Structure 1
Amino acid sequence: MNLVEMLHEAVRANPSKECLRNKQDGQWHSITYAEFWNEIQYFAIGLKSLGVKEGDKVGLLSNNCPQWAISDYAVLSLGAVVTPIYPTLPSPQVEFILRNADVEYLIVQDQTQLGKILQIWPDKLKCAILIQPETDCADECADRILPFKDVLKLGMKQEGTLGRPDYAAIPESQLATIVHTSGTSGTPKGVMLSHSNITSNIRASLSCLPIHPTDIALSYLPLSHIFERTVGQYAILSSGATIAYAESIETIQVNLQEIRPTVFCTVPRLLEKVYARIHGRVEQSPKLIRKVLERGLANETRSGLAYRIVDRLIYEKVRQGLGGNLRFIVSGGAGLAADISEFFGKAGIDCYEGYGMTEASPVICTNPFGKLRRGTVGVPIPGVEIKLAEDGELLVRGPNVMMGYYKNPEETAKTITPDGWLQTGDIAEIDNGYVKIVDRKKNIIVLATGKNVAPWPVENSISLSPYISQTVLIGDKRQYVTCLIVPDFLALKSVADELQLGDDQGKWVSHPKIRELLRQEVIKYSEPFADFEKPKRAVILSNELTLEGEELTPTMKVRNKTVLQKYGHLIEEMYNGTNYVPIQDGQGHTHPSHDTGHLQI
């Protein structure tokens, strides 16, 4: 069964049920499964009229919206290949993907996205289809830029002549999509996934975390990422459930309360922010109230007076803030700290953490429903084998493993062994079948002393501080570990206001009291680790790491190589003894941050 057939089963079972919901001009609008199916068919016929045929590469450059899903399934129903592109990518990276994947047709959201390709229009690109045209296309470009609605109308007009696509004839083994990796440490590679790669992943994932037709999901992660596309789109729709599209990441809190989803796919970053905000408010509470709240938050059971107080004052607000109707949360894309998972669990919302990668369609492991083990990514999904290499690297084999990298057999051979094992590049531990990811193999810090440090657990723990947004651990081939700290400037604002520092974040991070506050937070949240793993010095940045600065990937992972290059001069100054906040000396003793110099970036 291919992806389109899987959807059609849900359409036949739920024709009049709400399928998709999105907000237009301040009002929510929805379409049924039958309406969704018809739009897919008409758009597919329209694409066929334009010349799209089996094997053609069709790009999708848009934020999440109903037209994204319609386009996706329409292209697939023709036996063509979908190449999703992150809408946050700058023009040069968009151009790279278009050329690398040999894209001939491109579906773009609006004039802003279209502007990324007008000056670099690749030779192979035949036309672009505009989902939200602001004006009618001028005569000189009408032959290569068409409104989405016009293609739909063309499909309606040509249905009698061309007929509906014979999607049932598409073999499972056929290439469905080319998804480019985020490129945290190099050039993105085009991952080739077949229909069977993805359908096997959907079925196996749903056997672990069932979705019901009565469920409604709020989609905010980019559909250009295979996690949201497989878990947040294909799995939801093949189950006959409803998808509501968030307006944007900025409106996510409002949309959660409007939609009141029952299931929610997210990356840990959003959960971390909720956790940090709550703990920040607790720390700022009057001493007596703070002690009661801290006791209740530390309570290991969901009972007792202290828990009931915390439930009333904190957990109930968390539940309502997330819509008040969640059955569970699915967390993926990065590691989720056990403390955060436990916090939401005590609030009555279990976070089922999973693990995967683009090359595995993407799910490899997940915590099964009702069998959650916090701090792990769960067990392999049915049909997937795992084992550890001699150096601890996790190896994966199964029907979800990619066909290979597009036009890149050398990298394919480096990544998949002759007997079919996918080398994930992640160091892992396995305990009674449950997998714990230690860190990326390439990220392991090897100190000059010979000690190995896995940075993610330390970075993640320090970033649990309500005053710290991001942490980057440094120390490869050095005598000791240090770190870059990105403060949570929203949380620091009240402190900056008390100190009358204005809005200049450079002044904030240079002020002795704020530097001392952040120093204490690093000490507190790195306490569980061995002395050699704890940062001895820190540089505090006065700016967030951003997508625009190419310091983050589209999935909000830190591009370590870029960050280390961009702030290399500050790192060298820190190791040379200037412009840093001292955390510990070589014997693990902590020092106050007096006489450390000022830093403005």
Structure 2
Amino acid sequence: MASTPSDIASVQTLPQLLAYRAARTPDKEAYRAFDSATQAWTSLSWSDTARRVDQWAQALAAMQLPPAARVAILLPNGLNAMCADQATLATGCVPVPLHAIDNPGSIAYILSDCEASMLIVGQAEQWAKVQAVGTPFPALRAVVIADDDAAVIAALPPTEGGPIVGSLAQWLAGAQHAATSAATPATYVPPAEDDLAAIVYTSGTTGKPKGVMLTHRNVVSDVKAVLERIAPTVDDVFLSFLPLSHTFERTGGYYLPIAAGSCVAYSRSVGQLGEDLKTVRPTVLVSVPRIYERIHAKLLEKLSPSPWKMQLYEAAQHKGWTQFCATQALATPAADEGRAAGWMAALPWPLLQMLVAKPLLAQFGGRVRVAVSGGAPLSPTIAKCFLGLGLPLIQGYGMTETAPVVSVNSLDDNDPACVGKALPGVEVRIGDNRELQVRGPIVMKGYWKRPEDTARILSADGWLGTGDQADIVGGRIYIKGRIKEIIVTSTGEKVPPGDLELALLADPLLEQAFVVGENRPFIACVAVLNAGEWQRLAADLGLSSQDADSLNHPSVHRAVLARIEKNTASFARYAVPRAVHCTLEPWTIENTFMTPTLKLKRNNLMAHFAQAIDGMYQKPGGR
């Protein structure tokens, strides 16, 4: 049974959406989570969920916060994060979701900037680190700590004149006691559709993050439109592992299942994702490309030591991809694309499916009927691999400022080279400098306390500049790259780095890649090598993988550049990197080279590798 936009036509706010679902399918499974105390998975029905959310809402209402008060939520995905968000919405307050793995300085900045009245946080240690930054929080009245007991909280340094700090258990119990002893329970005013449903801070690849103001109209409109395009049902099971501070997960992996009545199972952690996929066996996946890239890299790592296994994989992928293209009426792959498979290319598809495709799909649980990729561009190599082996993978496009989904492919109209057609009710056009522009009910209200920034991106007649260059052909949107990131070499050639970096990462040797060349004579690359692949390459070249100097030995540079050249054969010659600097240290959120949504912080990387980058341009010919 599938819900349709017409079923929820009267729903205007997110609290109304939850109320609709609890009334429509009260006994169906809503949420599934792993209980570390019992070491078992537990479930909540929709009626259970509504009751639990009401308990949280009563506790929040008893705080008597100002109207539209900001409630910051720093929790990992799970039932507490869901309840905190829903209770905040129900009481007319505004959730400010925070990245659980963000650094304390960034969290402190956001708490101050949004003037949060309350913070709900997982651990006392997290609050202590934020406090230690020294930023004043004059609006902050209370800090509720969800996962630590009163004794741990009592050991925190005192905050004279600061917020009241207590445990979640104390907070909920206190509200319950007050409710039973009071003549009337605490009341609250539910939100209207043009009230804020969230302030979501952008990752900030450069400078300070900006708070995107999304209304209930924005989010509910996006949910209804995605529901029409993807059509999940009450029998679907989503596996939630992207942070709820990411708008892609909020809309696609959290609010959409409420509209559809689907169950959401919370993964224990990204590290246990592989196990959880096999245990939960989801039917719908909402993920960023990085997850698919990791699975692809592990697949190649297992296969690469065995030439015949690699040939079998190449044969299965080529034959499956050819069939997919025929089904979708896409251009048929050239016959010589399957040459790497050798004689195995002649094997029948049912045999290849049994030997290669089914074992791969089993890694996803074996019953995924739709896997959505968004949040960043999906590499054509990754798309071809998974679609060729039978994973029903579709790509979408959006941004925080559009709540976030603008477009997405569908299973029966699925060209992985594009990001699909605009959602129903969403207008798109190409503006100056080939910029994709968007208009519709999904477009944000503006940036929090930043009217000048809002005016720069949002026109008076409602068109939002995405900052992405694109083409629109037959209604399908083809993203070409970020306008601000496009590299202009000293010879005047323009190179979008995103597509180039994706192509480089098709090689399992390269774990991460960052290309440079602004005002330089040619394109160069800084690359993080995969440790296992590096050991194999070093051995082949007669070098010690333990010797740091080996990483940038001339023979290593030649070998890496040869592999880069192979993976960039379809690029213009001027776009192919002519120099490389290799490192083994991964770029992470913790070392400030990645944003919480796993985008490269290019300015930080440029500064850190400045000497190495200069060195690449001082070598003859760049090599």
- Same fold, judged at TM 0.5 (above): yes
Residue deviations 1:306-328, cap 9 Å, x none? Answer: 54444233222210111111011
CA distance in structure 2 between the aligned counterparts of 1:510 and 1:532, rounded to whole angstroms: 23
Q: TM-score, normalised by structure 2?
A: 0.88
Q: Which amino acid aligns with 1:138?
A: A
Match of 1:485 among 527, 530, 534: 527
Residue 592 of structure 2 corresponds to 550
- C-alpha change, 1:212 and 1:424, in structure 2 (3 Å) is same
- C-alpha change, 1:505 and 1:157, in structure 2 (3 Å) is farther
2:133 counterpart of 1:132: no
Residue deviations 1:30-51, cap 9 Å, x none? Answer: 2211111111111111111122
Residue 14 of structure 1 corresponds to 25
Contact persistence 1:341–1:350 (CA under 8 A): no
Residue 8 of structure 2 corresponds to none
Contact persistence 2:545–2:551 (CA under 8 A): no
2:171 counterpart of 1:151: yes
Q: Kindly state the Cα deviation for residue 581 of structure 1 after the two structures are TM-superposed.
A: 7.7
Q: Which amino acid aligns with 2:148?
A: P
Contact persistence 1:262–1:327 (CA under 8 A): yes
2:445 counterpart of 1:403: yes
Show the 5 A alignment for 1:223-238. 223-238=244-259
Q: Kindly state the Cα deviation for residue 528 of structure 1 after the two structures are TM-superposed.
A: 1.1
Residue deviations 1:357-392, cap 9 Å, x none? Answer: 011110111112321111111011011101001310
Q: Kindly state the Cα deviation for residue 285 of structure 1 after the two structures are TM-superposed.
A: 1.6
2:54 counterpart of 1:41: yes
Q: Kindly state the Cα deviation for residue 470 of structure 1 after the two structures are TM-superposed.
A: 1.4
2:346 counterpart of 1:335: no
Match of 1:471 among 513, 524, 532: 513
Match of 1:351 among 393, 399, 424: 393
Q: Which runs of 5+ in 1 are unaligned?
A: 583-601
Residue deviations 1:543-562, cap 9 Å, x none? Answer: 11111111100111101111
2:151 counterpart of 1:123: no
Between 15-24 and 292-301, the greater mean CA deviation after superposition = 292-301
Q: Kindly state the Cα deviation for residue 111 of structure 1 after the two structures are TM-superposed.
A: 2.2
Q: Which amino acid aligns with 1:200?
A: S
**Helix, strand or coil: the match of 1:318?**
helix
Q: Kindly state the Cα deviation for residue 95 of structure 1 after the two structures are TM-superposed.
A: 0.7
Q: How many residues align?
A: 579
Match of 1:99 among 107, 112, 120: 112
CA distance in structure 1 between the aligned counterparts of 2:439 and 2:573, rounded to whole angstroms: 38
Contact persistence 1:42–1:159 (CA under 8 A): no
CA distance in structure 2 between the aligned counterparts of 1:334 and 1:5, rounded to whole angstroms: 31
CA distance in structure 1 between the aligned counterparts of 2:53 and 2:372, rounded to whole angstroms: 28
Residue 274 of structure 2 corresponds to 253
Superposition CA RMSD, Å: 2.3
Q: Kindly state the Cα deviation for residue 239 of structure 1 after the two structures are TM-superposed.
A: 1.5
Q: Kindly state the Cα deviation for residue 423 of structure 1 after the two structures are TM-superposed.
A: 0.6
Q: Which amino acid aligns with 1:3?
A: L
CA distance in structure 2 between the aligned counterparts of 1:309 and 1:513, rounded to whole angstroms: 41
Q: TM-score, normalised by structure 1?
A: 0.91
Contact persistence 2:557–2:580 (CA under 8 A): no
Residue 300 of structure 2 corresponds to 279
Residue 221 of structure 1 corresponds to 242
Q: Which amino acid aligns with 2:32?
A: R
2:13 counterpart of 1:2: yes
Q: Kindly state the Cα deviation for residue 154 of structure 1 after the two structures are TM-superposed.
A: 3.0
Residue 85 of structure 1 corresponds to 98
Q: Which runs of 5+ in 2 are unaligned?
A: 1-11, 325-344
Contact persistence 2:435–2:469 (CA under 8 A): yes
CA distance in structure 2 between the aligned counterparts of 1:252 and 1:191, rounded to whole angstroms: 30
Residue 587 of structure 1 corresponds to none
CA distance in structure 2 between the aligned counterparts of 1:469 and 1:294, rounded to whole angstroms: 21
Match of 1:198 among 202, 219, 236: 219
Q: Kindly state the Cα deviation for residue 497 of structure 1 after the two structures are TM-superposed.
A: 7.0
Contact persistence 1:293–1:306 (CA under 8 A): no
Q: Which amino acid aligns with 1:235?
A: L
Contact persistence 2:34–2:41 (CA under 8 A): yes
Contact persistence 2:116–2:140 (CA under 8 A): yes
Contact persistence 1:111–1:134 (CA under 8 A): no
